[in-house]
């Protein structure tokens, strides 16, 4: 039914937009016919130290090679700061809104330059050089952005680890990319609660003997241990250095950052993005998708620990000289009208959040929204997971007052920026559809055998050709990169998502088709949760699948087989949830644990996840073919004892 519901581009959006429907069609056509020509022009939106003469060098076959603008040099931080100073030194670059509503500040581009210069010199004083990796484990405070930009300025490669990850997860990420320097804060503050970031780093560093320096930003003033010779206070070091630091000339293909993300197997992968193409793409998409105009106040509610924070809090907006809002807190603190209060307080024009937040706030009813005016809002965005039509319609009516277009932006950590999304002045919207590809992006839907499907169809989503923001490799494991993304459908980038295309050519993402689950817009590998569970001394075996969850999109459903002689109790169930929280982080905590005397396996011992998914989804009437099971009785038991929700 929602297929039928179409929202026209509001006249006010069309009138001011950078791109209207006819212009989108023309741009798209040109971008396909002359892809290198199109991106060659777009590349000039950033400042190059040495301009490129080569635009595109891509081979999706064999070892896989992806290069953009590869003979150009630039500095990403200089593009986000220095080049704006002549015109914008006094313009706000970052509005910071604290967890406590009484705390906020404005940082101008001029101030940003000084902060980043100092942070750069502090890193240099700690011996950080071009190409070195630096791990950033920070709360949502401006220093997190300064740290990222300081790395970019001196040519170091940052790896931001979300502050909600456990010491073990942090340690794994530090070791994988061999960071010698970690930047953190004493504590974070979220929803009035303190997050022991420095204590987590201390625990992590027990496993990281090569880390020689830990730079600690004072946020709460809480009591933390400082290990002499290793730990230093940022404010003390910053006072010793100059705010001026030259920007390093970087090749377009020099790494900018690594960001770890979950896949269907093994440990999280270090997704590597490089400098030139990434920045061009972040800038291009931020400008066109959000129809960013001079003076707009733009707010993306993500955390800098995720790719959305990288591309659409820091790099895209700052490359465009925008004013970007950074929020330390959570949507429901002090109460569930906080987002809307912040919109009114800072006169936010463009608001970008995740469906899980919309659903959670929707549950609180309209009263918290009605307290606020929301008259500054012009455009709404959604990211991270499919948005259900109900949430879309609520967002449109209650938050956007039927006036603001919604951009449902589909993309991934791997893609660096948005690939499929409406353009607010060009694209009619349908609730629940990410609509159409951006210029320069060539999606294809394939069937299980890799045949490209035409017209209205459903299958697996691939991208036929590269775009400048694409990841270049898995850090330290190029073979895994080629295998993960280019081997299922040779010659194409495989996204891992299922997708439907309707008769109007609109794309509808149906969710992951691999063993990745999307919990509140956060990617989680089922294998990671399983290995955390089996690390518990009383667990023999575990299998984890996703199931539909009203607020989170997907919840985590774990089937656990206990060791012989261990009694299944409520206490143990609670203990296992806590255990996974501690091993990985709160976002990985199972929502439901079912005791499984046995797991459905084939005769060769392979767990049949298809069956476990069906049971978790309450679709046990449609289990399909179970004849290959070693012991069909196992399934009967699982169905009889499935968990209620």
Q: Residue from 111, 248, 254, 408 that binds ligand WTA (CB under 6 A)?
A: 408
Could you give the residue ranges of the DSSP H alpha helices within 325-422?
338-346, 355-362, 367-370, 389-394
Both structure tokens of 516: 């990745």
Binding site feature residues:
190-193, 308, 332, 384-386, 408-413, 497, 512, 520, 523, 534, 536, 539, 581
Q: Taking CB under 6 A as the rule, does residue 410 contact ligand WTA?
A: yes
Angle at the Cα of 187 (from 197 to 358), degrees rounded to 5? 85
Residue whose CB is less far from ligand WTA, 204 or 434: 434
State the number of CA atoms in the 13 A half-sphere of 547 facing the CB. 23
CB of 299 to ligand WTA, least distance (A): 17
Smaller CB distance to ligand WTA: residue 222 or 511? Answer: 511
Residue 509 lies near ligand WTA (rule: CB under 6 A):
yes
Cα separation of 331 and 606, whole Å? 42
Q: Which of residues 254-293 bind ligand WTA (CB under 6 A)?
A: 261
- Per the CB < 8 A criterion, the answer to whether 136 and 280 are in contact is no
Q: Whose Cβ is closer to ligand WTA: residue 107's or residue 383's? A: 383
Q: Looking at 306-416, which runs of residues are DSSP E strands? A: 323-327, 350-353, 379-383, 406-409
Binding residues for ATP: 384-386, 408-413, 497, 512, 523
Give the interface segment with ligand WTA, choosing from 315-323, 358-366, 495-503, 608-616 (CB under 6 A): 495-503
Tell me if 632 sits within 8 A of 626, measured CB to CB. Answer: yes
d(CA 223, CA 199): 10
Does 54 contact ligand WTA by CB under 6 A? no
DSSP string, 98-137: -SSTT-EEEEEHHHHHHHHHHHHHHHHHTT--TT-EEEEE
409 binds ligand WTA (CB under 6 A): yes
Smallest distance from ligand WTA to CB 644, Å: 27
DSSP state of 246: P
Contact window for ligand WTA (CB under 6 A) among 20-28, 471-479, 493-501, 562-570: 493-501
Shorter beta-carbon distance to ligand WTA: residue 198 or 492: 492
The single residue among 328, 497, 515, 528 that binds ligand WTA, judged by CB under 6 A, is 497
Q: At what angle do helices 167-177 and 197-205 cross, to 10 degrees?
A: 60
Whether 389 and 431 have beta carbons less than 8 Å apart is answered as yes
Under 8 Å between Cβ of 119 and 238: yes
What tokens appear for 131 in the block? 């190409």
Which one of 13, 184, 301, 413 is in contact with ligand WTA (CB under 6 A)?
Answer: 413
d(C-alpha 614, C-alpha 623), whole Å:
6
Q: How far apart are the first and last CA of the chain?
A: 27
Q: Which residues are annotated as a binding site for Mg(2+)?
A: 534, 536, 539
431 is an interface residue for ligand WTA by CB under 6 A: no
524 binds ligand WTA (CB under 6 A): no
Stretch (H or E) spanning 326: strand 323-327
**In this complex, which beta carbon is closest to ligand WTA, that of residue 434 or of residue 589?**
434
Q: How far apart are CA 387 and CA 520, in angstroms?
A: 11
# of chain residues touching ligand WTA (CB under 6 A): 23
User: Which listed range, 56-64, 173-181, 303-311, 612-620, lies at the site for ligand WTA (CB under 6 A)?
Assistant: 303-311
Q: Which is nearer to ligand WTA, 248 or 291 (CB)?
A: 291
Binding status of residue 514 toward ligand WTA by CB under 6 A: no
Which residue of 383, 391, 407, 482 would you call a contact of ligand WTA, by CB under 6 A? 383
What residues make contact with ligand WTA under the rule CB under 6 A?
261, 306-308, 383-386, 408-413, 434, 495-497, 509, 511-512, 518, 523
């Amino acid at each position: 039914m929602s297929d039928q519901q179409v929202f026209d581009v509001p006249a006010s959006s069309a009138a001011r937009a950078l791109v209207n429907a006819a212009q989108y069609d023309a741009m798209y056509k040109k971008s396909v016919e002359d892809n290198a020509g199109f991106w060659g022009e777009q590349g000039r939106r950033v400042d190059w130290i040495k301009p490129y003469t080569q635009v595109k060098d891509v081979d999706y076959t064999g070892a896989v090679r992806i290069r953009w603008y590869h003979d150009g040099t630039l500095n990403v931080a200089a593009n986000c700061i220095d080049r704006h100073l002549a015109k914008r030194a006094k313009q706000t670059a970052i509005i910071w809104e604290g967890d406590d509503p009484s705390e906020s500040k404005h940082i101008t581009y001029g101030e940003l330059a000084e902060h980043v210069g100092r942070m750069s010199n502090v890193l240099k004083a700690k011996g950080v050089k071009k190409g070195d990796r630096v791990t950033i484990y920070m709360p949502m405070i401006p220093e997190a952005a300064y740290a990222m930009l300081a790395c970019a300025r001196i040519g170091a490669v940052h790896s931001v680890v979300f502050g909600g990850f456990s010491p073990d997860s942090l340690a794994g990420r530090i070791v994988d990319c061999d960071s010698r320097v970690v930047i953190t804060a004493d504590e974070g503050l979220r929803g009035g609660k303190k997050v022991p970031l420095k204590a987590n780093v201390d625990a992590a560093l027990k496993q990281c003997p090569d880390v020689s320096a830990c730079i600690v930003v004072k946020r709460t003033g809480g009591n933390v241990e400082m290990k002499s010779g290793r730990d230093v206070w940022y404010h003390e070091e910053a006072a010793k250095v100059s705010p001026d630091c030259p920007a390093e000339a970087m090749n377009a293909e020099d790494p900018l950052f690594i960001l770890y993300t979950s896949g269907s197997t093994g440990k999280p992968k270090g997704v590597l993005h490089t400098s030139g193409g990434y920045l061009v793409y972040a800038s291009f998409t931020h400008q066109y998708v959000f129809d960013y105009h001079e003076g707009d106040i733009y707010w993306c509610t993500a955390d800098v620990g995720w790719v959305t924070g990288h591309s659409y809090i820091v790099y895209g907006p700052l490359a465009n000289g925008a004013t970007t809002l950074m929020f330390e807190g959570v949507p429901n603190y002090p109460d569930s009208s906080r987002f809307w209060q912040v919109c009114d307080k800072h006169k936010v024009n463009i608001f970008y959040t995740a469906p899980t937040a919309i659903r959670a706030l929707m549950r609180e009813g309209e009263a918290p929204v009605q307290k606020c005016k929301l008259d500054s809002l012009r455009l709404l965005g959604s990211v991270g997971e499919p948005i259900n039509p109900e949430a879309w319609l609520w967002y449109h009516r209650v938050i956007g007052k039927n006036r603001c277009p919604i951009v449902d932006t589909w993309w991934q950590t791997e893609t660096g920026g948005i690939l499929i999304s409406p353009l607010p002045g060009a694209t009619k919207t349908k609730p629940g559809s990410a609509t159409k590809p951006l210029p320069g992006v060539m999606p294809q839907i394939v069937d299980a055998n890799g045949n490209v499907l035409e017209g209205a169809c459903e299958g697996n989503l691939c991208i036929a050709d590269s775009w400048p923001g694409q990841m270049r490799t898995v850090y330290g494991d190029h073979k895994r990169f080629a295998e993960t993304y280019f081997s299922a459908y040779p010659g194409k980038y495989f996204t891992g998502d299922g997708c439907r295309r309707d008769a109007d050519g609109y794309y509808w993402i149906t969710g992951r088709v691999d063993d990745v689950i999307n919990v509140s817009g956060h990617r989680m590998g089922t294998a990671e949760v399983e290995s955390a569970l089996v690390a518990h001394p009383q667990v023999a075996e575990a299998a984890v699948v996703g199931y539909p969850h009203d607020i989170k999109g997907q919840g985590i459903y774990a089937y656990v087989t206990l060791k012989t002689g261990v009694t299944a109790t409520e206490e143990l169930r609670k203990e296992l949830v806590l255990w996974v929280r501690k091993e990985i982080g709160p976002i990985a905590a199972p929502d439901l644990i079912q005791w499984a005397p046995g797991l459905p396996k084939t005769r060769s011992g392979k767990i049949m996840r298809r069956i476990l998914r069906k049971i978790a989804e309450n679709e046990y009437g449609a289990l399909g073919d179970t004849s290959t099971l070693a012991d069909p009785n196992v399934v009967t038991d699982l169905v009889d004892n499935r968990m209620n929700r």
